[in-house]
Structure 1
Amino acid sequence: MMKSIGRILALAVVAAVAWLIWVVAVPVELPRTPYGITVGPNRTLGQVSRSLEDEGVIRNRRVMIVLARLGGYDRRLKAGLYRFNGPASLWDILQRFAQGRPDEASVTVIEGWTFRQLRAQLDQNPDLQHVTAGWSDAQILSEIGATETQAEGLFFPSTYYFNPESTDLALYQRAYRTMREHVDAAWQQRVAGDGLKSPYELLILASLIEKETSRDEDRPLVAAVFRNRLKSGMRLQTDPSVIYGMGEAYRGKIGKADLRRDTPYNTYTRSGLTPTPISLPGKASLQAAARPALSDVLYFVASGDGRSQFSATLQQHNSAVRKFILKKAN
């Protein structure tokens, strides 16, 4: 009996080892060739391994995670694009991750960032050659062939892949050209009689929309509020522009004195659009600026759940303020 149990255990061990070898070392035919594995800047190994398992690139994601942690590969995982030109085993993929050298590195520019935040992101990227270190914003604009005099808002927020050792100047140029393409496309699609005089004004409006809401479904209504106010001669009265105009004086809150203190970006004291964009707007905000919702709304207030409450009259708006800001029953 003991010998039988021993044989069964031995066979089980052999089977487990054979299965592990099959999972780890036997190459898998890739879904396509070349096959690219994209690792985002905030993507965990668990998320990557799940995607690979779902696509049939690896046979068992749990084995991959365990081996990665044992070897410390999970700590070396670097954002970028990893290419494979033929069948690859789980071990082959792990070794590529362990090297920390993707075929294409990446940098992510977030919607709503300022140009200062964009520069900081590129400056700290170890895969770029930093040829613009110490340059002024104006010098960067000149070198990439920009016709504008202010850098704010001119660069499209996205994840950019590049060959390691590319220059930051080349990436600025790509982001600038990409924004130009998106702005030109939005300008061509804009509604008639919108009152905007140039694609640059559309970009300014989109940057204000970008900072007012993170919900794509609310952007066309925010755009409608701004368009209706511009057409009626009302001031935009948007807090993000005031904050932008405060610069480093902003400490997380704005008070009544800040709303009264005049700056070129204070839309409570000045009519019309701000002189420049205040952020890097994404595609959804550009499209909303070009094609706002067909609505007579003139006001909106945050409802506390990430959404906005829109109103067509001051009475409706005051009621919404009491409900959502002052927390008082109407």
Structure 2
Amino acid sequence: MKVSWQRLVIIVGLVLVLVALAGYGYVRHQVKQFAQQPLVLQEPVLVTVVSGQSVYAVTRSWRQQGWVNESNWLRWLLKQQPALGAIRAGTYQIEPGLTLEQALAHLAQGSEHQFSITFVEGSRWLDWQRQLQQASHLTGMELLNDDQQLLVKLNIEQPNLEGLLYPDTYFYTAGTSVLALLQRAEARMADVLSTAWDGRSDVASTHLQSSYEALILASIIEKETGQQGERSLISSVFHNRLETRMRLQTDPTVIYGMGERYDGNIRKADLREATPYNTYVIRGLPPTPIAMPGKAAIEAAVQPETSDYFYFVSRGDGSHVFSKTLAEHNANVRRYILNRTSTKE
């Protein structure tokens, strides 16, 4: 009897162990299946976790939207991987194909989605305003309607923001303020301009009284050409004109002075109109930049080539032909402008 009782205890113990192991294995299997289920998504989606929101609330929302299967295994998953429960507030992009475990890990890592906005070289402040107003997940948009308040907050003493913001691609997270983004653009431009101004040539020092004047000239160069190899040569034309007190006579300044009236054409009356930006009328530089120049145009403004050119005209393919005399220039105008116009007609 004694031996039989001991055997019974052993057998019962083994059965209990086996049941426990089987139960443990079942739980692990179910939790693994739950964690590795792919989210049912057809395209990337943005998920915003608000401050204080729990992982249970997030997954409940996902179940309601049909992204994951109904299950009560989340608590077991968090016991095995407690780090998955420490999700952080923010806006995240969840890609199709991610498993539930991977998606929760993404939220726990705090790798918020980076939105982007690109401002091209030669764009104007008006263009920036329009782009920012259409950008998603930015805050403080009301500042875009108050230029004077913006100047104060950016600590800018110039009359407007034109030219003072560096054109580039900027990345930001949801909830970033317009002001914070513009502060970055202004600081970047200040840094690029300061470096270029410190390395200016003697010619630039003679004709430009400040880095702001260099920025004005750079904005004109930016609007005149997109050709990398031409910028410093076009800069030399303007420096040569400044040296001889010859008017700059550049169309982009006239267009800027016309504002919203510009319809794609410049007429003779427009060239005679006395605006602060009409360089066919005024001598020297206009009062402010006419666009946001890039680094290459800024460097060209302060480091012009040495040349005897006073004129240039577009070939119609984005490049320009340069000339030293008015007679040569007029001949080039007839060849590249008037002939092209008559051909179109």
Q: Which residue of 2 aligns with 1:182?
A: 192
1:73 shift after superposition: 3.0
1:211 aligns with 2:223: yes
1:103 shift after superposition: 2.3
Q: Which residue of 1 aligns with 2:336?
A: 324
Q: What TM-score comes out, normalization by structure 1 length?
A: 0.69
Distance 1:90 1:296, change over 3 A: farther
Q: Which residue of 2 aligns with 1:154?
A: 164
Please say if residues 139 and 178 of structure 2, whose CA atoms lie closer than 8 Å, have aligned partners that are also in contact: yes
1:277 aligns with 2:289: yes
Q: In structure 2, the residue corresponding to 1:208 is in which secondary structure?
A: helix
1:193 shift after superposition: 3.4
Q: Which residue of 2 aligns with 1:73?
A: 43
Please say if residues 216 and 284 of structure 1, whose CA atoms lie closer than 8 Å, have aligned partners that are also in contact: yes
Distance 1:241 1:72, change over 3 A: farther
Q: Which residue of 1 aligns with 2:202?
A: 192
Segments of 4+ moved more than 2 angstroms: 71-74, 89-93, 130-135
Distance 1:295 1:72, change over 3 A: farther
Q: Which of these residues, 275, 278, 294, is aligned with residue 266 of structure 1?
A: 278
Q: Which residue of 1 aligns with 2:149?
A: 139
Q: In structure 1, the residue corresponding to 2:176 is in which secondary structure?
A: coil
Amino acid at match of 1:73: E
Higher relative helix content: 2
Greater Cα offset, 146-155 or 281-290: 146-155
Please say if residues 123 and 130 of structure 1, whose CA atoms lie closer than 8 Å, have aligned partners that are also in contact: no
1:189 shift after superposition: 1.1
Q: Which residue of 1 aligns with 2:309?
A: 297
1:220 aligns with 2:220: no
1:144 shift after superposition: 1.6
1:149 shift after superposition: 2.6
Question: For the residues of structure 2 that align with 1:146 and 1:265, how far apart are their CA atoms?
Answer: 21
How many residues get paired? 247
1:137 shift after superposition: 0.9
Q: What TM-score comes out, normalization by structure 2 length?
A: 0.66
Amino acid at match of 2:153: E
Please say if residues 208 and 278 of structure 1, whose CA atoms lie closer than 8 Å, have aligned partners that are also in contact: yes
Please say if residues 43 and 96 of structure 2, whose CA atoms lie closer than 8 Å, have aligned partners that are also in contact: no
Amino acid at match of 1:270: I
Question: For the residues of structure 1 that align with 2:239 and 2:131, how far apart are their CA atoms?
Answer: 33
Question: For the residues of structure 1 that align with 2:163 and 2:235, how far apart are their CA atoms?
Answer: 17
Question: For the residues of structure 2 that align with 1:310 and 1:231, how far apart are their CA atoms?
Answer: 18
Question: For the residues of structure 2 that align with 1:232 and 1:185, how far apart are their CA atoms?
Answer: 28
Question: For the residues of structure 2 that align with 1:279 and 1:146, how far apart are their CA atoms?
Answer: 16
Per-residue CA distance 1:206-234 (angstroms, 9 max, x = gap) = 00001111111111111111111011110
Question: For the residues of structure 2 that align with 1:304 and 1:261, how far apart are their CA atoms?
Answer: 26
1:135 shift after superposition: 3.8
In the alignment, structure 1 segments of 5+ residues that lack a partner are: 1-70
Please say if residues 107 and 161 of structure 1, whose CA atoms lie closer than 8 Å, have aligned partners that are also in contact: yes
1:91 shift after superposition: 3.6
Q: Which residue of 2 aligns with 1:117?
A: 127
1:138 shift after superposition: 1.3
Q: Which residue of 1 aligns with 2:178?
A: 168
In the alignment, structure 2 segments of 5+ residues that lack a partner are: 1-40, 47-90, 341-345
1:246 aligns with 2:278: no
Greater Cα offset, 247-256 or 102-111: 102-111
Amino acid at match of 1:225: V
Q: Which of these residues, 220, 235, 242, is aligned with residue 230 of structure 1?
A: 242
Amino acid at match of 1:149: P
1:92 shift after superposition: 4.1
1:103 aligns with 2:113: yes
Per-residue CA distance 1:117-168 (angstroms, 9 max, x = gap) = 1111111111211343464211101012223232111100000111221100
Amino acid at match of 1:179: M
Distance 1:313 1:180, change over 3 A: same
Question: For the residues of structure 1 that align with 2:222 and 2:168, how far apart are their CA atoms?
Answer: 14
Distance 1:72 1:259, change over 3 A: farther
Q: Which has the larger radius of gyration?
A: 2
Q: In structure 1, the residue corresponding to 2:150 is in which secondary structure?
A: helix
